[in-house]
Structure 1
Amino acid sequence: MDRNLKQFSAIYIGGGNTFRLLKDFKETCFTNVLKEYLAKGGIIYGGSAGAIIFGQDIRTCSHMDSNDVGLQDFHGLGLVENYSIWCHYNGENDAVINNYIFEYKNPVISLPEETALFIDDEVITVIGTKPAILFNEENKKVIQPGTLLS
């Protein structure tokens, strides 16, 4: 691991264009550095684009970000089981999320504002003041804060 990261107790990855963020991380091999940092007990918090890249596939951001960097590999870090992450969720997104699931066959964890996931030793807990919403091909399930996903 890059010894410069060892000095930090946590890393924050903010928002912006998700395609650009993932492209930059992949081109610099920073995705590998992040995974190693996590494996050695590091803490990472992602907001918006910084959270979406933790999922299986980042095309959940296509309704708000353009792929102006020509990214071809849409695989995120895969840190949330086989789920893709949908940030800034509201009920008006349901049809778009269902279209995403139909097209890409990835289940989605949708996070409204004020909601996050806490992952520790592969145990995923919903935290915050609003529930997360799980979408898959069969249904939509509300997960209240304080509830374990796995």
Structure 2
Amino acid sequence: MKMFLSSSFADVIDLFSEFIHENPRGKVVTFIPTASTTEAITHYVDSAIAAFNDLGITIEMLDLSKCATSEIEEKLSKNDYIYVSGGNTFYLLQELRKTGSDKLIIDQIKKGKLYIGESAGSIIMAPDIEYVAFMDDKTKASDLTRFTGLNLIRQYPIPHSGNKYFNEAVKKIIECHESKLDLLPFTDDQALLISNDDLIVR
């Protein structure tokens, strides 16, 4: 299992290059922007696209809410990397479940494919995502009835620690949940590097 979880992917490209231990030029990433499609502000998607272009990585877009299961399965299995963008974590989980992409992504990760998460795409790996309700609007996922995440890590990531737009939400999450959950706040300049069962904050 190999995962690179970030708050802001464009801000940690150097860490990403060190982590993958290979020249990514010519690789293909399945780029899943689904979490961003409910949001008014989506500049981070453009920043991630530019970052992948700078690394010489070819992008194949895959909006889960608009694609057939066969296309989702094909792209996830054939491309080299999987990237899941920031946005609304609850909407992302809803669409992952609706399409069965949650199971497909877990399967690819367990086979050794590199997963790259940004913000919502990082949070989704927690055992449960309800703890981020201070940061993301649950009502944007009206069909979501349970909040179990992909559960590939035991920690609960809190992206954007110290970010002026998100820090109040980060503080509320910590205040409300620190006694019950293994919270892991990290900044826009940090990433969670996961290899098998080892998790390092860089």
User: Which residue number corresponds to residue 88 of structure 1?
Assistant: 160
Following TM superposition, by how much is the alpha carbon of 1:95 offset from its aligned partner in structure 2, in angstroms? Answer: 4.7
Task: Give the gaps of 5 or more residues in structure 1.
Answer: 128-150
The list of structure 1 runs, each at least 4 consecutive aligned residues, that deviate by more than 4 angstroms after superposition, is none
Whether 1:51 and 2:126 are equivalent positions in the alignment is no
- Structure 2-normalised TM-score? 0.56
Please show how residues 121-136 of structure 1 align to structure 2 within 5 Å.
121-127=196-202
Match of 2:100 among 25, 29, 32: 29
User: Which residue number corresponds to residue 3 of structure 2?
Assistant: none
Contact 1:60–1:85 under 8 Å retained in 2: no
User: Which residue number corresponds to residue 42 of structure 1?
Assistant: 113
In structure 2, C-alpha distance between the alignment counterparts of 1:53 and 1:96, rounded to whole Å:
16
Structure number with higher relative contact order (C-alpha < 8 Å, ≥ 6 residues apart): 2
Task: Describe the SS at the equivalent of 1:32.
Answer: helix
Task: Give the gaps of 5 or more residues in structure 2.
Answer: 1-71
Q: Aligned AA for 1:99?
A: C
| Structure 1 residues 55 and 78: alpha-carbon distance in aligned structure 2, compared to 1, 3 A threshold | same
In structure 2, C-alpha distance between the alignment counterparts of 1:84 and 1:24, rounded to whole Å:
20
Following TM superposition, by how much is the alpha carbon of 1:3 offset from its aligned partner in structure 2, in angstroms? Answer: 4.2
Match of 1:120 among 173, 189, 195: 195
- Structure 1-normalised TM-score? 0.74
In structure 2, C-alpha distance between the alignment counterparts of 1:83 and 1:23, rounded to whole Å:
21
Match of 1:107 among 182, 190, 196: 182
Contact 1:52–1:58 under 8 Å retained in 2: yes
Number of aligned positions between the proteins: 124
Task: Describe the SS at the equivalent of 2:96.
Answer: helix
Structure 1 or 2: more helix by fraction: 2
Contact 1:13–1:45 under 8 Å retained in 2: yes
Task: Describe the SS at the equivalent of 1:112.
Answer: coil
Give the percent of matched residue pairs that are identical in Structure 1 and Structure 2.
29
Structure 1 or 2: more strand by fraction: 1
